[in-house]
Amino acid sequence: MRIPRPSRIILYILLMFFAILALLPLWSCVVTALKTSKEVILSTPITPPLHPTLVPLMKALDYLKKPLVNSLVLVGSGVMVSSFFGSLLGYFFSKRKFRGSIVLFILIILCLYIPAQVQLIPMVRVASILGLHGNLGSLVLLYMLFGIPMCTFIFKTIYDEIPDSFINAAKIDGAGTWLIYQRIILPLSVIPFIVASLLQITIIWNDFIWGLVLTAGKANLPVTVAMANLKGSFVAEWNLQMAGALWVALPPLIIFVFLGKYIIRGYSGT
């Protein structure tokens, strides 16, 4: 057997150390979620449970059932609508350029950089004018609209790779704008649809602030906000909160494990 060089050994020890450091919160979350309320108080957050129990997990799930469904509705509607419009806009910005289209594209991309904090009050006003404040509809609408710039960007960058000759050939063959989109662009859009959906799913699922300000009442809350409410009013029930966090983290975790490579493609813009 070859003996690794000392520098390698040191490197691996360091890497291991940082990996443990990074995984510590997850470990703490899992072990705490498996403890009874009494054990949470008596042990440190990283000691494994002596008497593991599933009660906190079940209780949290019961509480988060409706919010989980809410978040699924938000993700589903947001992903479908924004990626559809993103794809259409991406097609126009990439293949049907018109006078001023670059400026318009830059303006749309700039929307990505407006911090949510400055939009909070205007959006609450808009939601109440529309009569949607407090209920889930306001969030549905918001995520649909706010997802469009990101999706437009993804679709445009990927559509830029489709040769213009495809479009020109289709035009000469007699296809109009809409038919070209349907027959040529859409079938070549599997990758951007996956990339855009994954990014949208993560963003919408993990979002907290909009759910907090725009919705009220347990029936309307998205899962992140409902999870924060698990804390309890008088006593901090850490095991319940950690169990809730596990449920909330589970869907994005599964997506990252299986489809992570597409998310990387999305960020690198290819």
Which window, 2-10, 162-170, 213-221, 243-251, contacts another protein (CB under 8 A)?
Answer: 162-170
Which window, 63-71, 85-93, 114-122, 176-184, contacts another protein (CB under 8 A)?
Answer: 176-184
Q: How far apart are CA 134 and CA 263, in angstroms?
A: 32
Look up tokens 């009874």; give the residue.
36
Q: Judged by CB under 8 A, does residue 170 bind another protein?
A: yes
Q: Judged by CB under 8 A, does residue 158 bind another protein?
A: no
Contact partners, residue 209, CB within 8 Å, separation at least 6: 116, 117, 120
Among 184, 196, 221, 248, binds another protein (CB under 8 A): 184
| Helix, strand, coil share of the chain (percent; to 5) | 80, 0, 20
Which window, 39-47, 133-141, 177-185, 192-200, contacts another protein (CB under 8 A)?
Answer: 177-185
Token pair for 44: 């440190």
Q: Judged by CB under 8 A, does residue 188 bind another protein?
A: yes
8-state DSSP, 183: I
Closest contact distance (angstroms) between CB of 165 and another protein is 4
Among 8, 183, 231, 261, binds another protein (CB under 8 A): 183
**Contact between 71 and 222 (Cβ < 8 Å):** yes
Token pair for 78: 């947001």
Contact partners, residue 179, CB within 8 Å, separation at least 6: 170
Q: Judged by CB under 8 A, does residue 96 bind another protein?
A: no
Q: Judged by CB under 8 A, does residue 179 bind another protein?
A: yes
- CB-wise, 125 or 183, nearer to another protein? 183
Closest contact distance (angstroms) between CB of 105 and another protein is 20
Token pair for 154: 């993804």
Q: Enumerate binding residues for another protein (CB under 8 A).
A: 163, 165-166, 168-176, 179, 183-184, 187-188
